[in-house]
Structure 1
Amino acid sequence: MEPITALALALAGGLSQVGGKLLEKGVVEPALKPATERLEKWVQRGYSQAKEDQALQKAVQSALEQAGAPTEDTDDLIRWLKRVGLDRLTAERNDALRRQVARSVLAFADPDADPPQGLVEALGWPRSRKRELAALLVAIRAQLAALDNWQAPIAYADQAAQCGLLRDILDRLAQWDNLVVHTEAGQALRVAVTQAGLTEKDITAIEARYRQGLVKELEWHDFRGIVQVRRTPRLPLADIYLELGLLPYQDEQERRRSQERLLSMREEERGKEEESRIQERVTDGLARAPRLVVLGGPGSGKTTSLRFIALMLAHGYGAARLGLDTPYIPLLVRLADYARALEADPALSLCNYLLDYVDKAYESHPRLPDYLRLALEKGTCAILLDGLDEVGGDPARGRSLRTQVVQRVQRFADRWCNEGRCNRLVVTSRIEGYWDEPVRGFAHGQLSPLRPPDEVEALLLRWYTAHELTYQPDPALAERRAQERVNHLLPQVLEWPSVRRLATNPLLLTILALIHENVGKLPNRRIELYEICAQTLIESWRQAQTGMPSALLAELGGKTVVRVMAPLAYWLHEEHPGGTAPYEAWRERLVDILGREGFEEEAEEIATRFLHHARHEAGLLAERGLDQFGFFHLTFEEYLAAREMARQRTEERRELLRAHWEDPRWHEVILLAAGQLGIVEARRDDVSDFVENLLRMETQDVEEDGRQVVLAGRALADIGPRSVTNATRRWVLQALEQTMQDRDPDTDQLRVPPRLPVRTRFETGEVLDELGWLPDDLDAWVRCTGCAEGGGDLMAMKYPVTNAHYERFILAGGYENTAWWSEAGWQWRLKPPSYRGEGPVTETEYWRHPRIGQERRGYPVVGVSWYEANAFCRWLTDLLRRARADDPDLPAEDRALVADLVAAGAVEVQLPTEAEREALVGGTKAQNRYPWDPPRGPATEDEKAILARANTSEAGLKGPTPVGMYPLGASVPFGLMDLAGNVWEWTSSLWENESERRVVRGGSWFDFQDVARCAVRLRRDPSYSGNYVGFRCVSPVLF
Structure 2
Amino acid sequence: MGGPGSGKTTFLNFVALCLAGELLGLPAANLKLLRQPIPREPDAARGSKAKRQRWTHGALLPVCVVLRDFAASLPADAAVDADTLWRFIFGQWPEPLRPYAAPLQRELLGRGGLILLDGLDEVPDAENRRAQVKQAVQSFAGLYGQCRFLVTSRTYAYQRQDWKLIGFAERELLPFTRGQIERFIDAWYAHMAHDLARLSASQAADGAARLKRASERPELSELAARPLLLTLMARLQTRGGGALPESREKLYAESVDMLLDEWERHKPRFDRSGQRVDEPCLGEWLGASRESIRREIDRLAYEVHLAQPSLTGTADIHEAALTAALRAASRDRPDARLMRLEEYLRDRAGLLSAHGEGWYQFPHRSFQEYLAACHLARFKFPDRLSELAKADPDRWREVLLLAAASVSNAPGSIWELVDALCPDGVDADPEAPEADGGTQWGALLAGQALHETGLAAADPDLQVRHETKRRRVRDWQRRLLRSRVLPARERALAGDLLAALGDPRHELLDVDHLRFAFVPRGAFWMGDERNSDAPLHRNETLDYDYWIAESPVTVAQFAQFVASAGGEVGYPEALRDPPNRPVAWVSWHDALAFCAWLGERWRDRLPAGWLVALPSEAEWEKAARGGVELPVAAQYATVGPGFALAGPARRKNPQPQRAWPWGDEWESDRANAERNVGASSTPGCFEAGRSPYGCLDMAGNVWEWTRSLWGTEGWQPAFVYPYDARDRQREDLNAPDDVWRVVRGGSWSIHRGDARCASRYWDRPGSRNDALGFRVVLRSSPVL
Calculate the TM-score normalised by the size of structure 2. 0.69
CA distance in 2, matches of 1:951, 1:542: 49
SS at match of 1:989: strand
Is the counterpart of residue 647 in structure 1 residue 373 in structure 2? no
User: CA shift at 1:605, angstroms?
Assistant: 4.2
1:444 — aligned with what? 170
The superposition leaves residues 535-572 of structure 1 with CA deviations (integer Å, 9 ceiling, x where unpaired) of 22222367377695643324423222111112222222
Would the alpha carbon gap of residues 435 and 931 (structure 1) be closer, same or farther in structure 2, given more than 3 Å must change?
same
SS at match of 1:425: strand
Residue type of the partner of 2:300?
L
2:404 — aligned with what? 674
Equivalent in 962, 969, 987 of residue 706 of structure 2: 987
SS at match of 1:445: coil
The superposition leaves residues 170-210 of structure 1 with CA deviations (integer Å, 9 ceiling, x where unpaired) of xxxxxxxxxxxxxxxxxxxxxxxxxxxxxxxxxxxxxxxxx
CA distance in 1, matches of 2:560, 2:264: 49
CA distance in 2, matches of 1:793, 1:358: 93
Would the alpha carbon gap of residues 486 and 880 (structure 1) be closer, same or farther in structure 2, given more than 3 Å must change?
farther
User: CA shift at 1:329, angstroms?
Assistant: 1.5
User: CA shift at 1:707, angstroms?
Assistant: 2.8
The superposition leaves residues 821-880 of structure 1 with CA deviations (integer Å, 9 ceiling, x where unpaired) of xxxxxxxxxxxxxxxxxxxxx667xx8xxxxx945554334465xxx2314543775x67
Is the counterpart of residue 502 in structure 1 residue 223 in structure 2? yes
Equivalent in 452, 457, 465 of residue 718 of structure 1: 452
1:937 — aligned with what? 653
Is the counterpart of residue 534 in structure 1 residue 256 in structure 2? yes
CA distance in 2, matches of 1:575, 1:870: 57
The superposition leaves residues 586-621 of structure 1 with CA deviations (integer Å, 9 ceiling, x where unpaired) of 445654xx1xx6x54436345435565554436333
Would the alpha carbon gap of residues 486 and 1031 (structure 1) be closer, same or farther in structure 2, given more than 3 Å must change?
farther
1:1001 — aligned with what? 744
Equivalent in 87, 94, 97 of residue 352 of structure 1: 87
CA distance in 2, matches of 1:506, 1:545: 20
Is the counterpart of residue 327 in structure 1 residue 59 in structure 2? yes
Equivalent in 405, 409, 418 of residue 691 of structure 1: 418
CA distance in 2, matches of 1:476, 1:990: 51
Residue type of the partner of 1:428?
T
2:176–2:225 Cα contact (<8 Å) kept: yes
Whichever structure has more helix as a proportion of its residues is 1
Is the counterpart of residue 912 in structure 1 residue 594 in structure 2? no
1:307 — aligned with what? 13
CA distance in 1, matches of 2:707, 2:434: 50
Matches within 5 A, 1:89-128: none
Would the alpha carbon gap of residues 380 and 903 (structure 1) be closer, same or farther in structure 2, given more than 3 Å must change?
farther
User: CA shift at 1:990, angstroms?
Assistant: 0.8
1:740 — aligned with what? 481
The superposition leaves residues 1012-1036 of structure 1 with CA deviations (integer Å, 9 ceiling, x where unpaired) of 5655544445566665433235677
User: CA shift at 1:303, angstroms?
Assistant: 1.8
1:412 — aligned with what? 140
User: CA shift at 1:382, angstroms?
Assistant: 1.3
Residue type of the partner of 2:142?
D
Would the alpha carbon gap of residues 372 and 843 (structure 1) be closer, same or farther in structure 2, given more than 3 Å must change?
farther
CA distance in 2, matches of 1:912, 1:941: 20
CA distance in 1, matches of 2:139, 2:547: 84
SS at match of 2:5: coil
1:424 — aligned with what? 148
1:103 — aligned with what? none
1:1030 — aligned with what? 773
CA distance in 2, matches of 1:987, 1:329: 68
SS at match of 1:444: coil
Residue type of the partner of 1:780?
V
CA distance in 2, matches of 1:911, 1:559: 64
- Percent sequence identity is 29
2:305 — aligned with what? 573
Is the counterpart of residue 961 in structure 1 residue 690 in structure 2? no
User: CA shift at 1:631, angstroms?
Assistant: 3.3
1:615–1:621 Cα contact (<8 Å) kept: no
SS at match of 2:114: strand
Would the alpha carbon gap of residues 770 and 978 (structure 1) be closer, same or farther in structure 2, given more than 3 Å must change?
same
SS at match of 1:349: helix
Matches within 5 A, 1:458-469: 458-464=183-189
Would the alpha carbon gap of residues 410 and 783 (structure 1) be closer, same or farther in structure 2, given more than 3 Å must change?
closer
CA distance in 2, matches of 1:600, 1:486: 42
2:300–2:325 Cα contact (<8 Å) kept: yes
SS at match of 2:59: coil
1:876–1:909 Cα contact (<8 Å) kept: yes
Unaligned 5+ segments in structure 2 are 23-29, 37-52, 270-277, 427-432, 522-540, 637-649, 656-660, 711-716, 720-737
User: CA shift at 1:988, angstroms?
Assistant: 2.0
Stretch of structure 1 that moved more, 720-729 or 558-567: 720-729
CA distance in 2, matches of 1:700, 1:644: 34
1:970–1:978 Cα contact (<8 Å) kept: yes
2:548–2:778 Cα contact (<8 Å) kept: yes
2:728 — aligned with what? none
User: CA shift at 1:528, angstroms?
Assistant: 1.9
User: CA shift at 1:328, angstroms?
Assistant: 1.0
The superposition leaves residues 509-541 of structure 1 with CA deviations (integer Å, 9 ceiling, x where unpaired) of 222233234433322321222222222222236
Equivalent in 530, 544, 552 of residue 282 of structure 2: 552
Would the alpha carbon gap of residues 374 and 454 (structure 1) be closer, same or farther in structure 2, given more than 3 Å must change?
same
Residue type of the partner of 1:308?
F
CA distance in 2, matches of 1:651, 1:919: 52
SS at match of 1:721: coil
Calculate the TM-score normalised by the size of structure 1. 0.53
Residue type of the partner of 1:714?
Q
Unaligned 5+ segments in structure 1 are 1-294, 743-753, 821-841, 848-852, 885-898
Residue type of the partner of 2:150?
V
2:680–2:701 Cα contact (<8 Å) kept: yes
CA distance in 2, matches of 1:644, 1:601: 23
The superposition leaves residues 931-968 of structure 1 with CA deviations (integer Å, 9 ceiling, x where unpaired) of 99988524475689976654344x94454322343456
SS at match of 1:987: strand
Stretch of structure 1 that moved more, 575-584 or 552-561: 575-584
SS at match of 2:708: strand
User: CA shift at 1:583, angstroms?
Assistant: 3.3
2:319 — aligned with what? 583
1:247 — aligned with what? none
CA distance in 2, matches of 1:376, 1:930: 89
User: CA shift at 1:703, angstroms?
Assistant: 6.7
CA distance in 1, matches of 2:335, 2:621: 78
Residue type of the partner of 1:583?
E
The superposition leaves residues 79-108 of structure 1 with CA deviations (integer Å, 9 ceiling, x where unpaired) of xxxxxxxxxxxxxxxxxxxxxxxxxxxxxx
2:389–2:395 Cα contact (<8 Å) kept: no
Is the counterpart of residue 488 in structure 1 residue 488 in structure 2? no
CA distance in 2, matches of 1:1001, 1:707: 35
Residue type of the partner of 1:305?
F
2:352–2:361 Cα contact (<8 Å) kept: yes
The superposition leaves residues 713-746 of structure 1 with CA deviations (integer Å, 9 ceiling, x where unpaired) of 333333332799544433322222211234xxxx
Matches within 5 A, 1:617-636: 617=348, 619-636=350-367
User: CA shift at 1:354, angstroms?
Assistant: 2.7
SS at match of 1:385: strand
Matches within 5 A, 1:143-154: none
1:516 — aligned with what? 237
The superposition leaves residues 115-174 of structure 1 with CA deviations (integer Å, 9 ceiling, x where unpaired) of xxxxxxxxxxxxxxxxxxxxxxxxxxxxxxxxxxxxxxxxxxxxxxxxxxxxxxxxxxxx
CA distance in 2, matches of 1:409, 1:967: 67
Would the alpha carbon gap of residues 1032 and 508 (structure 1) be closer, same or farther in structure 2, given more than 3 Å must change?
same
CA distance in 2, matches of 1:559, 1:628: 24
User: CA shift at 1:387, angstroms?
Assistant: 3.0
